Amino acid sequence: MLPKLPKLTPDEAESLLLKAGFELIRSKGSHRIYIKKNVRVVVPFHSNKILHPKIVKQIVEAVDINF
């Protein structure tokens, strides 16, 4: 059985990415783009809604956290 992904807000996701060494390279509209080496992560910022599980999975894999 797969482990359950955490529910993240955009602010929490941004905090995780920055702690993992990602840099905010640009933002376009309500999306912020972070990069570290050749890994790019796009985080949509929509009024503190919970991020979609696919985006959370992308962030967790990029930061390499085990849940």
Residues 24-65 have pLDDT tens digits of 999 999 999 999 988 999 999 987 799 999 999 999 999 885
Whole-structure pTM value: 0.84
Looking at residue 67, its pLDDT comes to: 43
What are the CA-CA distances from residue 27 to residues 19, 21, 24, 31 (Å)?
Answer: 19, 17, 8, 6
- In eight-state DSSP terms, residue 5 is P
